[in-house]
C-alpha cells in the first residue's frame, strides 16, 4: 500500500497493517518514537490498534540523545 | 560604542529594543560538546548579557571535527571543555560575562545555577540529564530548548512551562540504550542545524517575541532529505508528574536519579540507571559491534572492552565500568556508548 511517510510517498508491504508493525519494520520498535497519523498524535498504547490504510499520512519522529 | 550588533538590530523583529533585552539576559547552556559550543558561540556573538556553560568532560581529538570552539592544543593538553570554551568565548566577545563550570550536571549542582536564568539550552548527550533539566525548568518556570542529533538526523523542541507539553509528556518512557554520536557517528551540519533551531528559539525568547516561538516538534535528516514538524500540544497531560497540576518533579528526587558507586579495590564504577529497565543485550551487542573494541555476550551480561576500559552490562539494567574510579569519567563512557 502507498502511504506518505515524513512527507514522501512510499510503497510499504501490505502486511504492515498497523503502526506497531510499521515501527518494527523500520527497526524503531525499541526506540522512543512519536507517531502522527493523519494529523493526530498517537499514544504508544494506541500503536497496536491503529490500522494503516492506503493514502495515510504518517510522521515518525525519533527521540535521540546525542549532542 | 561600535557597530558590532548593527546587522542584528537592523533585523526588524530584534531592533535596538530587542538588542537591549538580549544584553540584559542570562542563558544557561548545559553541555559544552557539539551543540553547546555552537549555541554558545552564536549567543556570545549575538551579545547575550551573561552565559553560564557547564561540562564535566575534557577536550579529545575526536571532538575537533564538530565542536567548534576547540583547537588541537586543547585536545593535546586535555583542557576541560568548560575552560577551553570560556577562553575562546572571551576572545570572541569580551562584553559578555562568561561563567564556565567544570561540573557534573546533577540536580544538586544545577539548582543553584538557575537564579536569574532566562533560558536553558539543552546541549547534553543523554536523557537522564534531560529529564532533570525538564523538572528544574518546570519547578523554576524557566523555558528550555531540547536539542539532539545523531548521524545526519536532528530534533528540537521548545518547552515553555505552563504553556507547551514538557519532555515528560512527550516521551512516555526514558529510553535505555539508543544511538549515540559515538556509536552511529555524527556529521557537523546536523549539529549546526540543531544549533540553528535552538539559537533562533533562544533569541525569540530573549527578545520576548512569544508569538514567534515555534510550537512544533521539528526533526530532519540532512542525508535522506527528510523534514518533519508536528504539532504536539495535544499530548500535554494534566496529570504529568513533571508539569501537571500536582507536579512532584520526580527526576529531582534521589530515587529517580542514576546511581553510581565506586567499587573499592576493583578500579571500577557501578552505574544503575534512573529507571528500572532491563537491557536488551542483543540490540546492545548489535549497536556495539561496529565499535573499536571487543564484544562478548552470555545470556546474563554483555562485556565490551575498548582500550584499557571494560564495560559490563547486566541484564537487570546495571553496568560496571572497569578501569576507572572516577565517577564522571565512568558516566561519560556509559553515555558515549548507550545514549
- Note the pLDDT of residue B177: 64
Q: In the structure, what pLDDT confidence band is assigned to residue B176 with cuts at 50, 70 and 90?
A: low
Residue B270 has pLDDT above 90, yes or no: no
Select from A32, A33, A36, A66 the residue whose CB has the most chain B CBs within 10 Å, as the one to mutate to test that interface.
A66
Q: How far is A3 from chain B (nearest CA, A)?
A: 15
Residue B180 has pLDDT above 90, yes or no: no
**Do A35 and A59 form a contact (C-beta atoms < 8 A)?**
yes
CATH 3.30.310.10 fits domain B258-338: yes
Residue B266 has pLDDT above 90, yes or no: no
Contacting residues of B for A6, CB less than 8 Å apart: 226-228
Please state the rounded mean pLDDT for residues B72-100.
96
Please state the rounded mean pLDDT for residues B317-332.
90
- Of the candidates B148, B234, B235, the beta carbon closest to that of A64 is on B148
> How far is B314 from B318, CA to CA, in rounded Å?
5
CB spacing of B186 vs A66 below 8 angstroms: yes
CB spacing of B33 vs A67 below 8 angstroms: yes
Structure confidence by residue, pLDDT tens digits, A3-30: 999 989 999 999 999 999 999 999 888 8
- Note the pLDDT of residue B71: 97
Residue B339 has pLDDT above 70, yes or no: yes
CATH architecture of B6-252: 3-Layer(aba) Sandwich (3.40)
Q: B188-206 and B34-46 helices cross at what angle (nearest 10)?
A: 40
Rounded mean pLDDT of chain B?
92
CB spacing of B228 vs A59 below 8 angstroms: yes
- Note the pLDDT of residue B148: 96
> How far is A34 from B225, CA to CA, in rounded Å?
19
Q: In the structure, what pLDDT confidence band is assigned to residue B277 with cuts at 50, 70 and 90?
A: confident
The three grid cell numbers given for residue B97, joined into one nine-digit string: 560575562
Q: In the structure, what pLDDT confidence band is assigned to residue B1 with cuts at 50, 70 and 90?
A: low
Contacting residues of B for A67, CB less than 8 Å apart: 31, 33-36, 122-125, 147-149, 181, 191, 194
- Note the pLDDT of residue B245: 95
Please state the rounded mean pLDDT for residues B69-91.
95
Q: Give the residue extent of every domain in chain A.
A: 2-62
Please state the rounded mean pLDDT for residues B254-278.
80
Please state the rounded mean pLDDT for residues B17-43.
98
Q: In the structure, what pLDDT confidence band is assigned to residue B218 with cuts at 50, 70 and 90?
A: very high
Residue B336's closest CA among B292, B299, B298? B292
**Domains B6-252 and B258-338 alike in fold:** no
CB spacing of A41 vs B228 below 8 angstroms: no
Please state the rounded mean pLDDT for residues B116-125.
96
Cβ neighbours for B138, distance < 8 A, ≥ 6 positions apart: B161, B166, B242, B243, B247, B249
Q: CATH homologous superfamily for A2-62? A: Beta-grasp domain (3.10.20.30)
> How far is A57 from B307, CA to CA, in rounded Å?
47
Q: In the structure, what pLDDT confidence band is assigned to residue B66 with cuts at 50, 70 and 90?
A: very high
Q: Give the residue extent of every domain in chain B.
A: 6-252, 258-338
Please state the rounded mean pLDDT for residues B15-35.
98
Please name the residue that has the C-alpha cell 498524535.
A41
Does residue A8 belong to the interface with chain B, where contact is any CB pair within 8 Å? yes
- Of the candidates A32, A59, A66, the beta carbon closest to that of B181 is on A66
Please state the rounded mean pLDDT for residues A31-47.
92
CB spacing of B339 vs A66 below 8 angstroms: yes
What whole-number percentage of chain B has pLDDT above 70? Answer: 98
Residue in A closest to B34 by C-alpha: A67
- Of the candidates B147, B219, B234, the beta carbon closest to that of A41 is on B234
- Note the pLDDT of residue B235: 93
- Of the candidates A43, A63, A67, the beta carbon closest to that of B123 is on A67
Amino acid at each position: 500500500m502507498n502511504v506518505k511517510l515524513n512527507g514522501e510517498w512510499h510503497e510499504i508491504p501490505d502486511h504492515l497493517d498497523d503502526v506497531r508493525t510499521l515501527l518494527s519494520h523500520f527497526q524503531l520498535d525499541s526506540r522512543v518514537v512519536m507517531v502522527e497519523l493523519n494529523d493526530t498524535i498517537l499514544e504508544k498504547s494506541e500503536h497496536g490498534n491503529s490500522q494503516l490504510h492506503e493514502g495515510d499520512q504518517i510522521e515518525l519522529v525519533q527521540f535521540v540523545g546525542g549532542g | 560604542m561600535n557597530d558590532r550588533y548593527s546587522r542584528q538590530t537592523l533585523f526588524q523583529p530584534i531592533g535596538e529594543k530587542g538588542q537591549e533585552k538580549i544584553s540584559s539576559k542570562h542563558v544557561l547552556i548545559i553541555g559544552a560538546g557539539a551543540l553547546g559550543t555552537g549555541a554558545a558561540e552564536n549567543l556570545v556573538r549575538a551579545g547575550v548579557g551573561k552565559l553560564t556553560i557547564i561540562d564535566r568532560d575534557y577536550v579529545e581529538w575526536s571532538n575537533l571535527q564538530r565542536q567548534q570552539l576547540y583547537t588541537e592544543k586543547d585536545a593535546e593538553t586535555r583542557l576541560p571543555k568548560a575552560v577551553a570554551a570560556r577562553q575562546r568565548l572571551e576572545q570572541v566577545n569580551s562584553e559578555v560575562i562568561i561563567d564556565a563550570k567544570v561540573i557534573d550536571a546533577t540536580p544538586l549542582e544545577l539548582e543553584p545555577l538557575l537564579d536569574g536564568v532566562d533560558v536553558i539550552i539543552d546541549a547534553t548527550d543523554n536523557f537522564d540529564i534531560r529529564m532533570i533539566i525538564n523538572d528544574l525548568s518546570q519547578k523554576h518556570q524557566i523555558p528550555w530548548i531540547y536539542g539532539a542529533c545523531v548521524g545526519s538526523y536532528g530534533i528540537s523542541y521548545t518547552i515553555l512551562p505552563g504553556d507547551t507539553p514538557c519532555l515528560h509528556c512527550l516521551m512516555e518512557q526514558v529510553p535505555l540504550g539508543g544511538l549515540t554520536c559515538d556509536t552511529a557517528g555524527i556529521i557537523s551540519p546536523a549539529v549546526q542545524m540543531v544549533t540553528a533551531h535552538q539559537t533562533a528559539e533562544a533569541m525569540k525568547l530573549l527578545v520576548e517575541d512569544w508569538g514567534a516561538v515555534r510550537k512544533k516538534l521539528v526533526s530532519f535528516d540532512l542525508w535522506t532529505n527528510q523534514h518533519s514538524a508536528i504539532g504536539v500540544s495535544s499530548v500535554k497531560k494534566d496529570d504529568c508528574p513533571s508539569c501537571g497540576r500536582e507536579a512532584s518533579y520526580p527526576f529531582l528526587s534521589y530515587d529517580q536519579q542514576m546511581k553510581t558507586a565506586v567499587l573499592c579495590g576493583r578500579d571500577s564504577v557501578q552505574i544503575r540507571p534512573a529507571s528500572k529497565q532491563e537491557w536488551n543485550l542483543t540490540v546492545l551487542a548489535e549497536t556495539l559491534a561496529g565499535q573499536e573494541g571487543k564484544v562478548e555476550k552470555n545470556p546474563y551480561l554483555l562485556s565490551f572492552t575498548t582500550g584499557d576500559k571494560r564495560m559490563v552490562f547486566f541484564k537487570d539494567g546495571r553496568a560496571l565500568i572497569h578501569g576507572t574510579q572516577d565517577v564522571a569519567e565512568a558516566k561519560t563512557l556509559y553515555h558515549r556508548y548507550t545514549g
